[in-house]
Amino acid sequence: MQLGDGLAIVEEVGRFRRGERRGEDGRIRIDVEWREISPWAVENGLLTIFPLARSDGSDDAEEKMTALHRSLEMDFVHYFGGGGFHAESPLDPDDGYGARLSRDPRITLPRAVWRVSDYAFTLVRAADPQAAGATTLSLHMFPADWRWPDRTNANTKRAASRRRRMAKQVQEVEIDWTWPVGADGSGA
């Protein structure tokens, strides 16, 4: 079952960051209201998870999930690059948010991560703990510094403090979530 459109979510985040979204007073909105983008958004502090799809574990559903995952990856590659230019980066399994994800045995480490202004995003495929054999596909949006730390003035006390703070944020972030109740038509 597909619940969300990953590319549409990322396009909307880009609109927020470019100042194309305005509040009722006409002023540019800087803060992102994730629930306006997707009612299923799971906000875990600085991490926002957008559930996109869930398979029931059948072979047919897994094939569709794999196709959806690949299609979204290619959409991101073309939307943020194209013409021989690739804007994606690998997600390092030993550093930052990549290390956090790689510690969870249910998660297949994402192959790529993209950046939209101050945010990074990646597609995460994981075993669904609520349903045997089922898998989920979600879009994880997190601070870009968790993947691309600022290296300017790297030897200052302020930079060292910032690195420690980011490392603590990554270590403490809650990456577990459950499929939204009622999202599959089952009711609350």
pLDDT higher than threshold 60 for residue 104:
yes
| Cβ neighbours of residue 142 closer than 8 Å, sequence gap 6 or more | 46, 47, 48, 97, 119, 120, 121, 173
pLDDT in tens, 15-41: 766 666 666 776 655 566 777 778 888
pLDDT in tens, 127-181: 988 878 889 999 999 998 899 877 777 788 888 888 889 889 999 999 988 888 7
Locate the domains of the chain by residue range: 6-172
The pLDDT confidence band at residue 125, using thresholds 50, 70 and 90, is: very high
pLDDT in tens, 47-56: 999 998 888 8
Q: What are phi and psi of 43, to 5 degrees?
A: -100, 115
- What CA–CA distance (Å, rounded) separates 101 from 70? 19
